[in-house]
């Protein structure tokens, strides 16, 4: 019964993996990119800001493109552009070229992000069973593979361009095969007044939940290591495991997330997992033992792993807005939180201390826990 959409499912998963691999690879080679372009720490901060802004600009344009051209066309073009742009990141030779390249990378990843999430909504609707969580697991797996590959390439003293070009060549060869198997969808032209209409309240509620999830994840990646090293007294080697423990737990949970969704339903599972994330961040902040803090971060990874897939799935079961438009709005809200809240934590940390500033993450996880029931109306099991 489900055979016709098995191909589209794994085709869409390939594009998830491409985005994760590209991002993880580039981030893992940041020291080499920084050295080649002769950048200071402040320059790197501006460069990463340009990347985030490029992503924010891309989301509304990507939603418009999906509604006009169809998800399959947009995802194929965006995936191809990302793969071709990927090696160029190793050619940055100065501050301005680095900022431009990273802005373009953020834009390409942003368009791809809207495309893959729209595609996952379409696939899950066609298969009539939960599959989005496993697709997001491929993104996380791609990121981990990119980071590990970057470590190996750095040890072998392979230049970032050579590293990225080799990976891009493999992806470019595979692209046509997977692109042909993407689920076909028809473009849906809209009236001008419909494009400008105010989004329903549920879109904003889902967007806030996404913002909390992405921001919590970003806070672990950007501040988790420093919290363990500077506040908890962990060694650099131990502190470096903060985001690793979070990521491994998230990847593992995402592979099982779809089965858990089938058994427990989205609303109940989301509330339990958000409670797990809340307990995890409280453990990381309150425990004086680094090992227990790492366990707390692992629980955060478990708790946040299914939140984004569940919210996208719940949004896809609504029919009062096109899937591409919804994916664009949710992605924009989520990315804005990830872009601005971790720096806000840094500013608060300079005033009240990092441990106290990380209380912002406790608030974010609490909002998700309290708001988990928002997906109930879209949950067929609720």
Mean pLDDT of the chain: 88
The pLDDT value given to residue 211: 95
pLDDT at 12 over 70: yes
The tokens for 116 are: 């893959």
Instruction: Identify whether 86 is part of a domain.
Output: yes
pLDDT at 184 over 90: no
Number of domains comprising the chain: 2
- Write the pLDDT tens digit of every residue in 130-149: 999 999 999 989 888 888 88
The tokens for 223 are: 């501040």
* Domain shared by 170 and 205, yes or no: no
Q: Which CATH number goes with the domain that contains 270? A: 1.20.1250.20
Within 8 A by CB and 6+ apart from 131, the residues are 9, 120, 123, 124, 258
pLDDT at 197 over 70: no
Segments forming the whole domain that contains residue 113: 3-179
Instruction: Identify whether 186 is part of a domain.
Output: no
| Helix (H) or strand (E) run with residue 36 in it | helix 30-37
* Domain shared by 169 and 206, yes or no: no
- Spatial distance between the Cα atoms of 316 and 24, rounded to a whole number of angstroms: 28
- Write the pLDDT tens digit of every residue in 102-131: 999 999 999 999 999 999 999 998 888 899
* Domain shared by 175 and 207, yes or no: no
- Spatial distance between the Cα atoms of 365 and 140, rounded to a whole number of angstroms: 20
The pLDDT value given to residue 343: 81
* Domain shared by 173 and 224, yes or no: no
pLDDT at 194 over 60: no
Percent of the chain, pLDDT > 90?
57
The pLDDT value given to residue 3: 40
Within 8 A by CB and 6+ apart from 197, the residues are none
The pTM assigned to this predicted structure is 0.86
Highest mean predicted confidence (pLDDT) among 64-68, 188-192, 240-244: 64-68
pLDDT at 366 over 80: yes
The pLDDT value given to residue 188: 61
Burial class (CB in 10 A: 0-12, 13-18, 19+), 111: buried
* Domain shared by 264 and 174, yes or no: no
Instruction: Identify whether 187 is part of a domain.
Output: no
Cα end-to-end span (Å), the chain: 25
The pLDDT value given to residue 182: 93
């Amino acid at each position: 019964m489900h055979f016709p959409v098995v191909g589209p499912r794994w085709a869409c998963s390939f594009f998830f993996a491409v985005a994760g691999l590209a991002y993880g690879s580039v981030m893992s080679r940041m020291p080499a990119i920084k050295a080649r372009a002769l950048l200071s720490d402040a320059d790197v901060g501006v460069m990463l800001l340009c990347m985030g802004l490029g992503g924010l600009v891309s989301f509304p344009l990507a939603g418009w493109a999906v509604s006009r051209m169809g998800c399959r066309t947009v995802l194929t073009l965006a995936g191809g552009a990302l793969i071709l742009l990927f090696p160029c990141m190793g050619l940055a030779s100065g501050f301005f070229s680095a900022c431009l390249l990273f802005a373009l990378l953020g834009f390409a990843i942003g368009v791809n992000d809207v495309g893959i999430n729209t595609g996952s909504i379409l696939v899950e609707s066609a298969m009539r069973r939960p599959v989005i969580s496993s697709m997001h697991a491929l993104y996380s797996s791609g990121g981990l593979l990119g980071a590990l590959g970057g470590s190996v390439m750095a040890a072998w003293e392979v230049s970032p361009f050579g590293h990225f070009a080799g990976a891009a060549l493999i992806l470019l060869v595979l692209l046509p095969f997977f692109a042909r198997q993407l689920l076909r969808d028809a473009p849906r032209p809209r009236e001008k007044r419909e494009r400008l209409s105010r989004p329903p309240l549920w879109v904003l509620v889902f967007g806030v939940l996404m913002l909390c999830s992405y921001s919590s994840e970003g806070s672990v990646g950007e501040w988790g290591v420093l919290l363990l090293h500077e506040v908890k007294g962990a060694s650099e080697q131990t502190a470096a495991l903060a985001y690793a423990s979070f990521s491994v737990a998230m990847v593992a949970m995402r592979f099982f997330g779809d089965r858990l969704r089938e058994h427990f339903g989205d609303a109940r599972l989301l509330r339990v997992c958000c409670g797990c994330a809340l307990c995890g961040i409280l453990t990381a902040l309150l425990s004086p033992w680094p090992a227990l803090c790492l366990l707390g971060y692992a629980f955060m990874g478990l708790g946040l792993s299914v939140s984004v897939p569940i919210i996208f799935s719940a949004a896809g079961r609504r029919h009062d807005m096109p899937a591409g438009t919804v994916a664009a709005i949710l992605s924009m809200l989520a990315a804005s939180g990830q872009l601005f809240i971790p720096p806000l934590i840094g500013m608060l940390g300079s005033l009240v201390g990092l441990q106290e500033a990380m209380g912002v993450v406790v608030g974010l996880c609490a909002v998700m826990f309290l708001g988990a029931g928002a997906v109930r109306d879209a949950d067929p099991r609720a």
